Structures are given as C-alpha cells and as structure tokens.
Structure 1
Amino acid sequence: MDKVNPYFLKNPSLISFSGGRTSGYMLYQILKAHNGKLPDDVFVVFANTGKEMPQTLDFVHDCSTYWDVPIIWVEWDNNSKNKIRIVDHNSASRKGEPYEQLIDSKKFLPNPVTRYCTSYLKIKPMRAYCMFHKGFEYWNSYVGLRYDEPHRVARLSNRNKKERWETEGPLHDAKVTVQHVYDFWKNNEFDLRLPNIGGKTPQGNCDLCFLKGANTIKNIMKSDPKLAEWWIKQETKHLGTGNDRAAYFRKDRPSYAKLLKNTQDQLELFEFDQATDTCFCHD
C-alpha cells in the first residue's frame, strides 16, 4: 500500500475521535486507506465528558455501526483504577458526572487560562487506555485538524516534545478544508444531527463549553434552556477562596445564570460569534 497516503497510519496508533464531523471524516478516510479494516494495533477512542449532546453520542455510535469499526468509549473516573472507566453508548454518562466529579476534586472551576478539563477528561483517559489497557510505551495519535486550521496544527510540535506519543494531523497533510467535510456529510447516508452553521457545529463538544463565544452559548440556551442548569450549578458552588477565577468559568463575561437571564429578556436570536478559535479539546 502507498505509504505516502496521509491516512495510512504508523503503528501502534490511537485515532482520537471527538464525536464531530471532522474527526468522523478523518476516520472514514483512514478506514478507506486500510481497505475498511484497521490494523490490530490501531484503536479508535472517544473520551466522553458527560456534557456532550445526545446527538453527538448517537453519531459516535452510528460511525461504529455503519462503518463496522470498534470505537472505545472512555471516561475519567477518580475512583477507578488508573482513573479511567470503559463505557459504551448505553452506559455512557449523560448528566455531566465525570466533569462534575473532576470539578469537585479540583475545588475550582476550569477557565481559559487553566483548562484542566481538556487534560483530565480527554487527554489523560486516552493516554491511560493506551498505556494500561493496551500496554503501549509509545504510540502515534491522530487528530482531526484540517488544512484551514494552521493555528491549531502549529501547537502539535510543542506537544510532541513532552509526551509519549507523536501527534499527527492527516487531514492537514491531505489539505482537507471545512468544505470537503461539509460535502462529504451532505452526501453520506447518515450525519451528525446537530446544526451545521458555516462549517461549524455550535452544539458540538461540551454543550455550553466556556470556550464558546457568549452569543453562541446564549443561542444554544434559547433552543434548550435546561442545558444551562448544570453550568449554573457549578458556578453556585462558590468554589475556591473568594477568587472569582476559581468560582466562575470566566471572569471576563457574565455568569451562566446571567447569560440565561439575558436570553429570556431578548426574544430574537443573537448574532453568532465570528471567533475562529472556539472550544477544541485536542490541544
């Protein structure tokens, strides 16, 4: 097989599947490069935080079912051996349990400066799976970074210097853009059942992630106000020692309770944020 193909993997490998359209597209292309079956020492792993939308969990399950590829579901669990719990579509947390357990153990909320949620809920469970469940000492990790995301790809070289794995971005190497991803899912037999707005999925990853723009969060709240309850609960725990940064997800904008109140006072939708670097849980 042509090893110049960016989707032909080095072994052993972990395919980091976020549950979004881009990583789904990457998985499809990797499967295609391997004639529909992954090598024995290549594993697809999805790290569930408990705050993904139900449609995201269904999409992960659909990719596994339609393409006949095993996808390992992992969750951070402070009470389990090696801090990792293996789950599946049926047993996966859906009420933010792993995330809330992590917050309670840290006793302060994550924020844009200290994003420990990404490390503990995404990166560490995948690392634990490779090290303790598969016995890998070193491995390659493949993430869904496109050609039109050079700022994210640039971070990979820094991470590679200090981890047990080499991170690869095959979509970037193949010059794949958001338009390629959009065209693929438009013509596919199944899709992620969340709105695609300008090539982005505002409700992807954690539903109301603090890294999403304020208007994006308020629009999601307007469509499903109950999603705000979990985030408001965390901010009303008054964690820390009076430091605003410890008790709130962000100090540069209103609390989740105030954002929700704002959506209730304004009837129309808010203009979507134009920021190019929204929440992303692989870096």
Structure 2
Amino acid sequence: MTDPFLIEGPALISFSGGRTSAYMLWRILQAHGGTLPDDVHVCFANTGKEREETLRFVHECATRWGVRVRWLEFVTERKSAGPEGRIQEVGYNSASREGEPFDRLIAEKQAVPSTIRGRWCTDYLKVRTLQDFMALHGLGPGQYVEVIGIRADEADRARRLREKERNASRKIETPLIAAGIRKDDVLGFWKRQDFDLQLPRGYGNCDHCPFVGLKNRVARARFDPAGTFWWAKHEKDRNFAMGRESVVEILGMVAQSPELIPDDYADAECGLWCAGEAA
C-alpha cells in the first residue's frame, strides 16, 4: 500500500501552525527520510494575528526537524502587482505580529470580514497568499498538489472543501484522513515529544477569530483580553461587528460569565473548522 505521507511534487504543504498540521509535516518528513524533494514546499501564511506561541512553534518545528518553512504574508490584492508584489516572504524574527497583513487587506477592502458581508480573510490572507507563492514557481491551482492537515475525525470538512465549485480544479490531498489519524493520535504524539505548542487545547492559532462559537470567543477573550483590542478597534472604525456579537459584547460576557472552557479541540487550517471555507 502506498504511504499517504509520501508526497510527490510539485506540492505545497500548508502548515497552519497547529498541532495537527505539525504532526502531518513530521509524518511527511519521516516518509521522505527526513528530507523533502526540492519541489515540495512547506509554507506558513502569517496573518499577523497568529499568537506568539504559534509563531514560536512553527519556528521550533522547522529548527528541530531541519525543514525549511517559507513564511509568507499578504501585501495587496491588486492583480496588477503580480504574485511577486502581492506577497512577501518573511521569517520568524521579521514576521508581522500586530496584524499588519490583515490591516492592509481591510484597508483595501474598506470593510471588515463578517458573518454578514463574507468571511474573506482566510481566502486572501491564507489561500491566495499560498497560491501566489506557487505562482512564483510557475504553477497555478491544479498544477500542484495541496497538502492540508485535516484529520479523519474532521473528514466532513475535507468533503465540503472539495465540493465547492471554486475548488474543482485544485488537487487537494489529506494524508491524515487517508491514514485514519484522529485527534487522540495527534495528542498522543505530542505527549511523547519534548516540545509542544504552548497553547491550551481549543484556543486556536488566530487569536480572536470572530467566526468560532460564542463559548470559544468568550473563553479566548478571558484567556487573552489584550488580544481583543485590535479587533475592537477595527469594529469601531468600520462601525460594524465581525461576528454575531461584537468584541465589546464578548468582553461584557467575560465580565459576567463564569470561566468557560473552549469546545472540543480543533486546529485545522484557518477557515476549515470555524467557517467551513477553503483554506
């Protein structure tokens, strides 16, 4: 039987910065004897709103495992800029940490993503940024394999992803599903390692994504209230709430509610589990 983690290039491995995609990357490296082919690229798309723990984890995985991870950030959505102008490559030290890529997107859109106007943040800051990176290598969607970290217990997300008409031409592979890897397998792996993502399970990589459930939003705001300020400022500037509840309303719930624990662990690609959109 063919090893699902033996990836044939050209391919892009999308590393979200979570435990699941990190485990997938480790399995792919093992299948390739520790060294990936030159045409198999590992990419991390940084929105500037990933938590510092996530950035350290991505850097540590790359350093400990000896794999090159390309850190990419959105610059502009203008088609005239070409792929070389729409993204920039950064590193652990130079990566944005104050939401700068997201700020640029909001400025160009003159709007904030929302449950009403559209959850387009993942599309531009993640999907298109990764696609522009591959375009710099002369490859368009469907001309390379996209490897995404979705577990077998999240298979419905992969199905929805493939069913979207706009994804019909994409070659999407989910080796964790093919190998039957579930949540407990991933968590068991990290318990055996001497390093781990230093975030409690359930808190996610995007610090205060407005599209997760209410319980998760309240728990995240309680865990990291300062991280909500960036989101609250954009909501105030645009006079529009991104989620079903505004950040101010969420902070009010934090002040009134007992401590909540986020819903079940999920750290798949941004958008796949909180919005059901392509990532």
TM-score (norm 1): 0.87
Instruction: Please say which of residues 43-52 and 146-155 is displaced more in the overlay.
Output: 146-155
For 2:35 and 2:144, the matched residues in 1 are separated by: 19
Q: What displacement does 1:156 show?
A: 3.5
* 1:191 matches 2:196: yes
Indicate the residue corresponding to 1:173 in structure 2. 178
Cα 1:160–1:176, aligned 2, differ >3 Å: closer, same or farther?
farther
1:160–1:167 contact (8 Å) kept in structure 2? no
Q: Partners of 1:234 and 1:179 in 2: how far apart?
A: 37
TM-score normalised by length of structure 2: 0.88
TM-aligned CA distance change 1:39 to 1:212, over 3 Å: same
Letter paired with 2:131: R
Q: Which residue of 2 aligns with 1:35?
A: 33
**How much does 1:228 deviate?**
1.0
Where structure 1 has 5 or more consecutive residues not aligned to the other structure, the ranges are 240-246
Distance of 1:23 and 1:271 partners within structure 2: 23
Confirm or deny that 1:139 pairs with 2:144.
yes
Where do 1:64-213 residues align within 5 Å? 64-78=62-76, 81-112=84-115, 114-132=118-136, 134-137=137-140, 138-159=143-164, 162=167, 165-196=170-201, 201-202=202-203, 204-213=204-213
- Listed as ranges, the gaps of 5+ residues in structure 2 are 267-272
Measure, in 2, the Cα distance between the counterparts of 1:49 and 1:249: 16
Deviation at 1:162, TM superposition (A): 4.2
**Cα distance in 2 for residues equivalent to 1:39 and 1:160:** 31
Indicate the SS of the match to 2:238.
Answer: coil
Q: Secondary structure at the match of 1:155?
A: helix
Length, aligned pairs only: 265
Distance between the aligned counterparts of 1:95 and 1:73, measured in 2? 16
**Pairwise CA RMSD of aligned residues?**
2.1
C-alpha distance after superposition, 1:208-249 (max 9, x if no partner): 10111122121221222111101100100125xxxxxxx221
Match of 1:278 in 2: 274
CA displacement at 1:66 relative to structure 2:
0.4
Sequence identity percentage: 38
Among 33, 42, 45, the alignment partner of 1:44 is 42
Counterpart residue number, 1:261 = 252
Q: Distance in 2 between matches of 1:120 and 1:70?
A: 23
Tell me, what secondary structure is at the counterpart of 2:54? helix
State the match for 2:5 in structure 1. 7
Q: 2:19 aligns to what? A: 21
- On the 8 A contact 1:143/1:282 being kept in 2, the answer is no
**Is 2:29–2:35's contact at 8 Å kept on the other side of the alignment?**
yes
Task: Evaluate the alpha carbon distance shift between residue 90 and residue 125 of structure 1 in structure 2; reply closer, same or farther with a 3 A threshold.
Answer: same
Q: 1:236 corresponds to which residue?
A: 236
Runs of 4+ in 1 over 2 A off after TM superposition: 79-82, 155-165, 270-283
CA contact (8 A) 1:122 1:281 kept: no
AA at the equivalent of 1:55: E
* Contact persistence 2:162–2:168 (CA under 8 A): no
Q: Which range is displaced more, 56-65 or 222-231?
A: 222-231
